[in-house]
Structures are given as structure tokens and as C-alpha cells.
Amino acid sequence: MGCTPQIGGNIETHLQNHHPDEPELLTVKEASEKLRISKWTLYQLIRSRRLATIQIGRRRLIPAAAVQALVQQLQQESTA
């Protein structure tokens, strides 16, 4: 299951306001809010291995760098 170009555009617009003092690891809720997508859509990206995560105990966390890598990938796909 792929993402639509609209999601990529929403992500790009939102991440233009990135601040270096943001946490390096995001919760699922934080990542979905940052990307302005539902948690369900975020889990779909995780299941399809388009978004890297790490697990610490029972918590699933998303590196901020993985979110930015996803945005770059979606940008490339939308211009191809």
C-alpha cells in the first residue's frame, strides 16, 4: 500500500517548520501529529517498512531522521 502525493505534500509543508530542539525519537502519536496523518496511516507505513522504527521495551519509537528520510523519499516519488 503506497502513500498518495497529497500525504507527501502535507508532510513537506509541515516539516519546513522543523526546529533543532525537537526530540530525536518520536512516539507514534508525535510522529503522526508531525506528519499530519492518522496513526493508522503511520502504522501502515511502519508495516510496509517505509518508516523505520526502534523498539525499547514495549514502546515503538520513530527516529526523527527516519521521518525526514520518508519525506525525502515521498518528494522524489512525487516528482518522478
pLDDT digits (tens, 9 = 90+) for 54-77: 999 999 999 999 999 999 998 888
- On average, the pLDDT of the chain sits at 85
On the question of pLDDT at 43 being above 70, the answer is yes
Burial class of 33 by CB neighbour count within 10 A (0 to 12, 13 to 18, 19+) = middle
pTM, full prediction? 0.69
On the question of pLDDT at 1 being above 60, the answer is no
The answer to whether residues 16 and 75 touch, using CB atoms and an 8 Å cutoff, is no
- CATH fold of 5-13+24-79 reads Arc Repressor Mutant, subunit A (1.10.10)
